[in-house]
Amino acid sequence: MVRSRARQTRRGRTPRKDKTVTRIELTPGRHLIAILLLLTATVAVLRLMGRLWWCEVGDWALWSGEVYGPHNSQHLVDPYTFTHILHGIGLYAVLWTLLKSLVTPVSRAVIALSIESAWEVVENTNSVIQRYREATISLGYYGDTIANSVADILACAGGYVWAMWIPVWASSVGFVLLEVTLLIWIRDSLLLNILMLIRPVEAIRSWQSGG
């Protein structure tokens, strides 16, 4: 049998190749360039949309714990920054499930940041801002500053990297614990925020408002 295969090869027949899936891969340098271009483009678009660089009130504190007033999403980080960490964990799970055989881990991370950056732009459109004000507890929400949006994207990246390096069970437990912590702390969370944007529940809104 071995001799027969050898003769077939000498006669010009090529050995049968196994079918493999072509993986999309970029070099590390290109990954870095892609991320920098992505952040630059996002900042440029947000600025063209009229978003401010920093808090209009003029408070230069990096942190703001206010979720109901004019400082909401106006500083570098705030309680909602933690929901963007959850974005990263969730995006890792979805992209790993859908693209693990097609795209390398670092390339999937770039895709995740692209999705997060796109959301930051959509989130700061007038229609979505108005939806937040009408359907959620964010009555004083007037959109994010550019600094806050960039910090949110970096928080998503942190959540993604964290999910990439720890076991699935630890990532799942961390997601649940962070959700519960936010519910106790600010009466809001990523999943609750999504629910209220899609299908507001008056009883939940009353509870969030302290009623």
Condensed to tens digits (0 to 9), the pLDDT of residues 61-114 reads 999 988 887 788 999 999 999 999 999 999 999 999 999 989 988 899 999 999
pLDDT of residue 27: 64
The pLDDT of residue 80 is 95
Q: 3-class SS at 125? A: coil
Residues 6+ apart with CB under 8 A from 178: 82, 85, 86
Considering the chain, what is the average pLDDT of its residues? 87
Q: What's the pLDDT at 5?
A: 47
Q: Is the pLDDT of residue 131 over 50?
A: yes
Please give the share of the chain, as a percent, with pLDDT higher than 70. Answer: 86
Task: State the pLDDT confidence band at 46, using cuts at 50, 70 and 90.
Answer: very high
pTM given for the model:
0.84
Kindly give the residue spans of alpha helices, DSSP state H, lying in the chain. 2-10, 28-48, 81-99, 105-123, 126-135, 146-165, 168-186, 190-198, 202-208
Phi (first) and psi of residue 106, to 5 degrees: -70, -35
Of the candidates 75, 204, 202, the one whose C-alpha atom is nearest the C-alpha of residue 149 is 75
Q: Is the pLDDT of residue 43 over 70?
A: yes
